[in-house]
Amino acid sequence: MKTRAAVLHEPGRPLEVHELDVDEPLPDEVVVRMAAVGICGTDLHSYVGEWKRPTPIVLGHEGAGVVEAVGDEVSAVAPGDRVVLSWAPACGECGACRRGRPAACAPLSAAIGRGTLLGGRTGLALDGETVYRGTATGALAERVVVAAGAALPLGADIPFEHAALLGCAALTGVGAVLNAARPEPGFSALVIGAGGVGQFVVQGARIAGAGAILAVDPVEARREQAVRLGATHVCAPEELRESVRALDPEGVDYAFDAVGAPETTALALRWTRGGGTAVVVGLAAAGVRLSLDPLDFTNREKTLTGTIYGSEDPAVALPRLLELVRAGQLELAGLVGPSFSLDDAEEAFRASLAGVPGRVLVTP
């Protein structure tokens, strides 16, 4: 089987579209014809070389499409089914998987680092040379072969361009609130960074019954979007001190760092009230370190925690997100940014790096 795919040969070199050889699906795998793929922060880390990944590699892990073929043992989905990709089908046997946290699966993490699928192969080649897979997926292609457990049923009513966002940003941002923080209704929240994931943290906080949501972002268009999605207050970074103090001089109950840089995590912890919780949601560049004041944890009894992929099995979380979308509580349409063809995938990455509002999509 063949597929066209956007290939990163090395960080700093523009993406190139090539026709790749694809292994036929194993009995427990499916072929998905991709319809829409979102560019996620994780893709950008690999693209600019902040994370070391083997190359050549096909990035992309947040997407939606149609099942084209299934292996002999697959019964959960059938050809023609519309699906959202999960990048954490996971092994099902390690401690993290048994605890319902497949995104923290040790064999999956190892596979992501190696640029392969969970089973250790990539199933992709260019002129006989192995091509690796971003986030154990490699969705920036017309066709993707993945484990059947990575193709989650979508239903007929949600457009692919909206559904793509469910595959990573929505699961991550909403889950950060509902599963990692688990706040009591009426809580106050600070959301640092109102990009793709941050806007879903804002929505998660609204859905969880927040009394006040302060979103901070340097980009005005993103602040305006946060207000439409449920933020009660917004500010630019230089106004953060006054804005938090005006909300509550002691700080917020929960602070979410949707950026993940050491500076923003420090801000999240700083503006969390005594006894409150700061949650790291965004992913840092490899190798960076945090500097912490231990007295925040003793004298002020703050909690600093983190979350990956919504801290829940995506197969469990996705149906609930779909319910929220259908009930009009979770907005997707307004979060979709510009869309590019597969041939223009390089432009899509540049637009995403430039911080355009909304999720940048590639529609292969």
Residues that bind Zn ion (CB under 5 A): 40, 42, 90-91, 94, 97, 105, 168
Nearer to Zn ion, 97 or 158 (CB): 97
Outline where 248-295 has alpha helix (H): 262-270
Measured distance CA(309)–CA(88) in Å, rounded: 9
Nearer to Zn ion, 92 or 334 (CB): 92
Structural contact between residues 160 and 36, judged by C-beta atoms closer than 8 angstroms: yes
- CA angle 313/318/323 to nearest 5° reads 140
Smallest distance, Zn ion to C-beta of residue 80, A = 27
Smallest distance, Zn ion to C-beta of residue 38, A = 8
State both tokens at 183: 């706040």
CA 54 to the chain's CA centroid: 21
Measured distance CA(182)–CA(204) in Å, rounded: 10
Nearer to Zn ion, 236 or 316 (CB): 316
Smallest distance, Zn ion to C-beta of residue 105, A = 3
Q: Which amino acid is at 135?
A: T
Structural contact between residues 46 and 118, judged by C-beta atoms closer than 8 angstroms: no
Nearer to Zn ion, 91 or 227 (CB): 91
Smallest distance, Zn ion to C-beta of residue 92, A = 6
Q: Which amino acid is at 162?
A: H
Structural contact between residues 9 and 18, judged by C-beta atoms closer than 8 angstroms: no
Nearer to Zn ion, 39 or 244 (CB): 39
Smallest distance, Zn ion to C-beta of residue 312, A = 14
